[in-house]
């Protein structure tokens, strides 16, 4: 199922269709502000600044599911990311990525060939092609700069 078929909630709770990103390369990430991987925001922002003019978007979904590492309101999380890491990419309402309350978007991203592979931790990154289909999944330990070549390839560079 294409990611463009999903709707998500903005930080303010407004429903947003991911169809608005049709034709773009997406990096969808579950994040947290109090995680050991939080400094990856710097690398994510660097990739965003470098490629956003070429049809690349990062979609940030805070998740408090792993040891409550994304405490605070959506507004507090946004302020932290903007002030600390100067992030400019879209951030959405907090989601769950595993379990019965998991976001349907993440259930879709985690299901490949009929097999579900749950998200292990914050900063799991999903690279989605211009057609809305999953290209690659990068676990939290993989730094943003380590898969820049995959982004370039997806952009047709």
The residues annotated with a catalytic role in the active site are 35
Query: How far lies 42's CA from each of 1, 55, 84, 85, 122, in Å?
Result: 31, 20, 9, 6, 15
Contacts of 110 (CB under 8 A, 6+ apart): 97, 116, 117, 118, 119
Q: What are phi and psi of 47, to 5 degrees?
A: -65, -40
Both tokens assigned to 62: 């805070």
SS3 128: strand
């Amino acid at each position: 199922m294409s990611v463009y078929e999903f709707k998500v909630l903005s930080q303010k709770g407004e429903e947003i269709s991911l169809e608005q990103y049709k034709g773009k390369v997406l990096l969808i990430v579950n994040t947290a502000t109090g995680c050991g991987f939080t400094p990856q925001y710097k690398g994510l922002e660097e990739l965003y600044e470098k490629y956003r003019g070429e049809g690349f978007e990062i979609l940030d979904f805070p998740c408090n599911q792993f040891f409550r590492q994304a405490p605070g309101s959506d507004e507090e999380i946004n302020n932290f990311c903007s002030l600390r890491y100067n992030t400019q990419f879209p951030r959405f309402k907090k989601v769950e990525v595993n379990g019965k309350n998991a976001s349907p978007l993440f259930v879709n991203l985690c299901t490949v060939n009929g097999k579900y592979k749950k998200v292990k931790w914050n900063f799991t990154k999903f690279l989605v092609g211009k057609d809305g289909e999953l290209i690659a999944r990068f676990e939290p330990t993989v730094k943003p700069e380590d898969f820049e070549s995959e982004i370039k390839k997806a952009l047709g560079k």
